[in-house]
Structure 1
């Protein structure tokens, strides 16, 4: 009976998160510089209604919201997994240098000719897929170096975190080096790319992110018991048959992979992988059987909400969503840091 209540509570949290995500998505579909009544939004979703509402919903806002759902879920799940396997509440894929590696790759692509300015003065990308490819390679290079060192030298979880900090510093230096030789237009394009923006995603990008995220998410769900054991310590995990080093390296790679794909398409969006898992731990505990799917729901809800705020707070101007998530994440990071120090 107690176990049934335990499971029911987790399921109720999941249902609430799902409903909140649906509600904020509908609100985001209907509000913006061009507001659409909710009834017309529902008609457009069903393929009915006027043509202008259908165009705005399916061509402009829906791809953006789907991107928010996928990127938010990916970042949150990646953060939850890395915090478990590295046994560090501050661990996220960005700790591994993913964002800084992506920024270097994007900057390199731009200085090689992928940026330009329209006559209106707005910065856009002449060859966005070149930037995406270079950003993805840069992100995975940062993680690849760390995992190679971990494999060859048997790095501890603490050492892996420190190696990530070192790689982040290296890629910051490389990015600054590239920016030093950039002209004003190229530098503006680099800064523009670094702002996380879900508006860059189209249905094609959403499909790619979904194709990458789905098998990785299934793998993490299958490995939920390994995560529970690893969170208790390597000795405990090994005693129940978990190949700790192997599973840790594979899981860290996959967490970095879904993050790298997301960052490459929409730019740098920080702190979702930190906020969402810890919020779920506060209300649902640290059982990874529930933490992984609930973190995915929480990450999707947080990012779609943050993007809605970014679109509406200074409408018709649209803020980059990365600014909003940073405002949310910085206090959370400081709180967790102080909490960790208080336990010592």
Structure 2
């Protein structure tokens, strides 16, 4: 029976990998400049027309890699936070990370970093200034919550409420900044807030990869600790887990990979909510399998959402954050209703 349990989840992982490959291939082929599968494979090998090679390597492939990495990071972060805080609604979005990043980016813009006007369009002049401020804003929320938890002994439930409070504070400060911004600055802030996977290039993808891989390795190594902590502090303490220390490290690492992703692509919500819960419903909450399956499903969901955003109203490209919000809002309401019904 145990072999069947493991085999089912292993097959699911390979199935998700295959779906990611198929969607990636479809995404490489489709767009304003359509390519056949043969042209795509030739372009990947550096052969074929110059236009095809440029389209694949400089436009579509970096975007696909970004979707896979950001989706995996957000899903991993959501799965871990839901376990250590024992709350199905815990995600990077509800912990204030995304709102902190928005505040940081808005602050950078009003200070004159990063954006300029060119031929009536808002263009990125110095993107890394905004990335740095967005990253610091995202991490600030987590540092405040973790510090309060350590100094005041906040419970997991109180940490969630602290995240909601930090989100409200950052939203208020962002609104205040926008009130004093001029038209160009305000347009730049709104533009940045749209989740856009077209911003990262190979360097940014590499930074996200280097941030994600060690974090994934840490949580895979601590999968049994996550299982125990998700059940309860008493159970975790009984098997030797330093619960408070583990919770703090996990919260910081979850916020870190989210902050790196959000700083480069803008606000993309609900992936950290949808992917872990879908895996729990289908395969249970065992973190040995929940972590890898959630990361794969997160990658697949964001890749599908971005492909839809590119093609639905082509040549106009929708912000992928809008698509994920349409998916996530009903899921969030469903979980709230389910939680109330379980009382």
The normalised TM-score by structure 2 is 0.99
In structure 2, distance between residues paired with 1:94 and 1:327: 15
SS of equivalent residue, structure 1 residue 123:
strand
Question: 2:101 matched to 1:131?
Answer: no
- Please name the residue that 1:116 is paired with: 116
- Please name the residue that 2:199 is paired with: 200
- Please name the residue that 1:7 is paired with: 6
The unaligned stretches of length 5 or more in structure 2 are none
**Cα deviation per residue 1:159-197 (whole Å; 9 max; x = unaligned)?**
000000111111111101111110011000000000000
SS of equivalent residue, structure 1 residue 70:
helix
In structure 1, distance between residues paired with 2:111 and 2:29: 40
- Please name the residue that 2:68 is paired with: 69
In structure 2, distance between residues paired with 1:129 and 1:336: 37
- Report the alpha carbon displacement of residue 47 of structure 1 after superposing the two structures with TM: 2.3
In structure 2, distance between residues paired with 1:213 and 1:239: 30
SS of equivalent residue, structure 1 residue 116:
strand
In structure 1, distance between residues paired with 2:175 and 2:336: 28
- Report the alpha carbon displacement of residue 123 of structure 1 after superposing the two structures with TM: 1.6
- Report the alpha carbon displacement of residue 122 of structure 1 after superposing the two structures with TM: 2.2
Aligned residues: 342
- Please name the residue that 2:323 is paired with: 324
In structure 1, distance between residues paired with 2:51 and 2:175: 44
- Please name the residue that 2:286 is paired with: 287
CA RMSD between the two structures: 0.7
- Report the alpha carbon displacement of residue 284 of structure 1 after superposing the two structures with TM: 1.2
Q: What aligned pairs does 1:138-177 form with structure 2 within 5 A after superposition?
A: 138-177=137-176
**Cα deviation per residue 1:102-152 (whole Å; 9 max; x = unaligned)?**
000000000111222220x22222111100000000000111001000011
The normalised TM-score by structure 1 is 0.98
In structure 2, distance between residues paired with 1:123 and 1:328: 29
SS of equivalent residue, structure 1 residue 95:
coil
In structure 2, distance between residues paired with 1:69 and 1:234: 33
Could you list the runs of 4 or more consecutive aligned residues of structure 1 that deviate by over 4 angstroms after TM superposition?
none
Q: What aligned pairs does 1:1-344 form with structure 2 within 5 A after superposition?
A: 2-113=1-112, 114-119=114-119, 121-344=120-343
**Cα deviation per residue 1:72-112 (whole Å; 9 max; x = unaligned)?**
00000000000000000000012111011000000000011
